[in-house]
Amino acid sequence: MNARFRYIAITIIIFFALFLILNHNYYRIKTFFAPPVAANSEPKIPIAKKTFAALPAGFSHCGPFLVFSAEEDTSADDVAKAIIAYTSAYRVSALKRAILLCNALKDSKILKGRIVLIPESLPAFVHSPMNQTLPPLISARGLYMTGTSAGNPALLEKLPYLKKNGINAIVFDVKDVDGILNYKSRIPAAVKYNLHEKACIDNVDMFIKKLKEQDIYVIARIAAFRDGLLVRHAPELAVKSKRSGKTWVGGGEIWCDPTSKSVQDYIMGLSMEMAEKGVDEIQFDYIRFPTGGDIRDASYSFQGGAMSREEVIADFLKRAHEKISSANARLSIDIFGVVAWGKKVDIDATGQRIELLSQHCDYISPMLYPSHFNNRFDGYANPADHPYYFINEGNKKLMALLANKEVVVRPWLQAFKWKVSSFGPQYIIKQIQASDDSGARGYLFWNASNEYRNVLSAMESLTQSGKVK
């Protein structure tokens, strides 16, 4: 009987060892038996990646098992924060609880020398999250989400409801104007200055994966040149004051120098990191020069040589578009709504000339919020109360300026009450009708607090009546 048990035990051990070896070497074996690639063929996006290729210090793996060896006293919180990207957990707090339960730990303390098993670890090899082909141009109907909202599991729970009522895209903050990165980045500047210290999205890879599992089009928003946090750590990258030589502040806003190569490279790095994580689109907001405050006192480095403002923005956008497209992601830009009216004063101030910009992006999203137009603009005493005119006219004017007619015009619509006499679902419906009637493709809703009850009520009504295009 004992010999039989030993035989069974040895057999189980051998099969388990073979499983670990095959699992660990899956990609090598797949590559070995794959047909040879022609010498003149273009490089392809890898279909798989090694999950544990760059584990944090103290972590190791054997096949599907991930373990932590404490080299000094630490805590379950710190362990969870360090390793969450290598697990299927969405929140650090949930992973911490799983670690405590799995290892029968009574409290969060992990003493030096302790071996800890990490639950919910990913397989040793996973499919590459990068898009294998460039996503098709779509009619997106999207909601903007802050990092805080994106990091809340409640958003994921609402996805089926959003899909049912016509929402097919989510725009989430990678970096807003404060400069805080909402995910843990590996970009050198982000690591050097700990720009992700206050990140709200604990596991951005899982966030993107969950959205795509629901067929949600994923848009990563980056507030490009307005960035208070980076300037605080690296003041040499700021727009400078001609008078003082110090950081220029315009209307309470702090800006990075749009003409600085280092600043441009930082934005490019974030964009590529997001593309490699599988987002469908990179969206540049604040892709312009500052317009508030004493503009005459603002000084720029012009590291790319003598250029006009519009040439600086177009040159950066051209380089970004080429790199982002190579990673199979789309590029969109947000522009001031008033720029669609083509007035020289607005173009000179922002550097946003549509004829140039439209050559180097896939989508243009004019911020046609009616409340943001000055009183009596185009003869309307309170533009906020005339949503149809400003959305419809803005889109048509913008499309007339496009040098590249394949670029999709997809406006931002107003999902907030400011200056509106009567705000509700009907106000949302009027904007949607105006946009559809103009020939634009899709629309995005902006509410800084992510309060979308009126939007969802309007979308539910339009979806049920078959009017969502």
**pLDDT per residue as tens digits for the range 143-184:** 999 999 999 999 999 999 999 999 999 999 999 999 999 999
Q: Note whether 245 and 295 are same-domain residues.
A: yes
pLDDT single digits (tens) 3-59: 665 655 555 555 554 555 555 454 444 444 445 544 444 445 667 678 888 899 999
pLDDT value at residue 304: 84
Q: Is 23 within a domain?
A: no
d(CA 313, CA 286): 11
Instruction: Give the mean model confidence (pLDDT) for residues 220-235.
Output: 98
Instruction: Give the mean model confidence (pLDDT) for residues 349-361.
Output: 93
Q: Note whether 203 and 243 are same-domain residues.
A: yes
pLDDT above 80 for 291: yes
Q: Is 356 within a domain?
A: yes
Mark which of 126, 158, 181 sits at the end of a domain. 126
C-alpha angle 234-300-185 in degrees, rounded to nearest 5:
35
pLDDT value at residue 38: 47
pLDDT single digits (tens) 455-466: 999 999 999 998
**What type of residue is 71?**
E
pLDDT value at residue 10: 55
Q: Is 134 within a domain?
A: no
| CA-wise closest residue to 238 among 310, 316, 175, 299 | 299
Q: Note whether 103 and 250 are same-domain residues.
A: no
Record the tokens describing residue 312, joined without a space. 């600086």
d(CA 205, CA 185): 11
Q: Is 315 within a domain?
A: yes
pLDDT above 80 for 299: yes
Instruction: Give the mean model confidence (pLDDT) for residues 352-373.
Output: 96
pLDDT value at residue 127: 85
| CA-wise closest residue to 212 among 280, 112, 264 | 280
Q: Note whether 105 and 180 are same-domain residues.
A: no
Q: Would you say 181 and 190 are in contact if contact means Cβ atoms under 8 Å apart?
A: yes
d(CA 236, CA 45): 37
Q: Is 111 within a domain?
A: yes
Domain that holds residue 200: 141-464
Q: Note whether 118 and 185 are same-domain residues.
A: no
Looking up tokens 């490009």, which residue turns up? 224
pLDDT value at residue 43: 46
Q: Would you say 206 and 89 are in contact if contact means Cβ atoms under 8 Å apart?
A: yes
Q: What percent of the chain has pLDDT over 90?
A: 82
Instruction: Give the mean model confidence (pLDDT) for residues 190-216.
Output: 97
Q: Note whether 237 and 318 are same-domain residues.
A: yes
Record the tokens describing residue 377, joined without a space. 């603009």
d(CA 29, CA 318): 40
What is the rounded radius of gyration, in angstroms, for the C-alpha atoms of the chain?
A: 25
d(CA 177, CA 251): 14
Q: Note whether 291 and 390 are same-domain residues.
A: yes
Mark which of 126, 155, 182 sits at the end of a domain. 126
Q: Are strands 125-127 and 48-50 parallel, antiparallel or unpaired?
A: antiparallel
d(CA 18, CA 25): 11
Q: Is 46 within a domain?
A: no
Q: Note whether 121 and 181 are same-domain residues.
A: no
Q: Note whether 217 and 299 are same-domain residues.
A: yes
d(CA 17, CA 11): 10
pLDDT value at residue 11: 59
pLDDT above 70 for 419: yes
Instruction: Give the mean model confidence (pLDDT) for residues 327-347.
Output: 94
Q: Note whether 156 and 88 are same-domain residues.
A: no
**SS3 state of residue 295:** helix
Q: Note whether 156 and 205 are same-domain residues.
A: yes
The count of other CB atoms within 10 Å of the CB of residue 192 is 10
Torsion on CA atoms 135, 137, 141, 144, rounded to nearest 10: 60
Mark which of 103, 126, 149 sits at the end of a domain. 126
Q: What percent of the chain has pLDDT over 70?
A: 89
Q: Is 7 within a domain?
A: no
The count of other CB atoms within 10 Å of the CB of residue 437 is 13
Q: Is 27 within a domain?
A: no
> Taking all residues of the chain, what is their mean pLDDT, rounded to a whole number?
91
Q: In angstroms, how far is CA 387 from the centroid of its own chain?
A: 28
pLDDT value at residue 33: 44
Instruction: Give the mean model confidence (pLDDT) for residues 359-381.
Output: 97
pLDDT value at residue 348: 87
CATH of the domain at 166: 3.20.20.80
**Count of domains forming the chain:** 2
Q: Note whether 166 and 64 are same-domain residues.
A: no
- Positions of E strands within 114-181: 115-117, 125-127, 141-145, 169-175
**SS3 state of residue 228:** helix
